Amino acid sequence: MAEAIYIKSSGEIERMRQAGKITAGARSIAGQAIRDGVSTRQVDRIVHEFITKSGAYPTFLNYNGFPGSACVSVNEEVIHGIPGKRIIRNGDIVSVDVGATCNGFVGDCAGTFACGEISDEAKRLIEVTRQSFFEGIRFARPGYRISDIGAAIQEYVESHGFSVVRDYVGHGVGRELHEAPEVPNYKADRRTLARNGNPRLVKGMTIAVEPMVNAGDWMIRELSNGWTVVTTDGSLSAHYENTILITDGEPEILTMADDM
């Protein structure tokens, strides 16, 4: 049976807006820090300082044992890159996933950034991944189902020759980082629909929509560190995510900044 979906009150939504604003700022700060010679640990430190100085807590820090305040994933790394000694170089693409908890509520967002001059394919991958999010949330309105979002994302991504990761999905977000429902970025099969229930979207739902897109095949594997996920074929991967609120009409993006 699918878990119950937590519908937010107007007061809770306002607190989510506050958390979302801080989270969006952390993503922007991280993007500005991406340059040749910077380590992934330095990016993480910048994110941590921004979130804490904003009066929030880095949601990812110690979440199920994760050792950083941000997931910093480079090139073939899809998600959950552990910040460390790895040096970012010109030509790399870097996905940064951040979360901030403020007044008991969570904001969650991600983006992929270019370091210096990158290949045309990498540019297109980043652009398609970002736009696929917006194609998906065209259906983030009352009356549509969760599966409508994923189907739109997959159709757009595959029409541009890329593939959508299947093993990880978006999710509800609110008091917890991960709440019901799951939000697949692809046309869900019967098994997924049976587990998730494919609920209709209603006003007051808050969900994180986060396409993870590979330049090659959609297959992935987890590294021995138990966190970092990479493309099986070594192809580039990009990630774009925002926390959104379902309203009476257009969805409200709670983690949107002018540069994203």
Q: Residue ranges of the domains in the chain? A: 10-253
pLDDT score at 189:
76
72-89 tens-digit pLDDT: 999 999 999 999 999 999
Q: List phi, psi (to 5°) of 155.
A: -60, -45
Q: Is the pLDDT of residue 95 over 90?
A: yes
How much is the pTM?
0.96
Asked if 204 and 133 touch (Cβ cutoff 8 Å), the reply is no
212-258 tens-digit pLDDT: 999 999 999 999 999 999 999 999 999 999 999 999 999 999 999 86
Q: Report how far residue 175's alpha carbon sits from residue 200's, in angstroms, rounded to the nearest whole number.
A: 21
Q: Residue 50: is it exposed, middle or buried by C-beta count within 10 angstroms (0-12/13-18/19+)?
A: buried
Q: Which amino acid is at 100?
A: A
Tokens representing 68 are: 């950083």
Contacts with 98 (C-beta within 8 Å, 6 or more apart), sequence order: 23, 26, 27, 30, 47, 51, 58, 60, 69, 70, 71, 108, 109, 110
Q: Report how far residue 241's alpha carbon sits from residue 173's, in angstroms, rounded to the nearest whole number.
A: 12
Classify strands 242-245 and 105-114 as parallel, antiparallel or unpaired: unpaired
Q: Report how far residue 173's alpha carbon sits from residue 25's, in angstroms, rounded to the nearest whole number.
A: 18
pLDDT score at 120:
98
Q: What is the mean pLDDT of the chain?
A: 96
Q: Which CATH class is domain 10-253?
A: alpha beta
Higher pLDDT: 2 or 220? It is 220
pLDDT score at 196:
67
% the chain with pLDDT above 70 = 96
User: CA separation (Å) from 252 to 137, 140, 149?
Assistant: 10, 9, 15
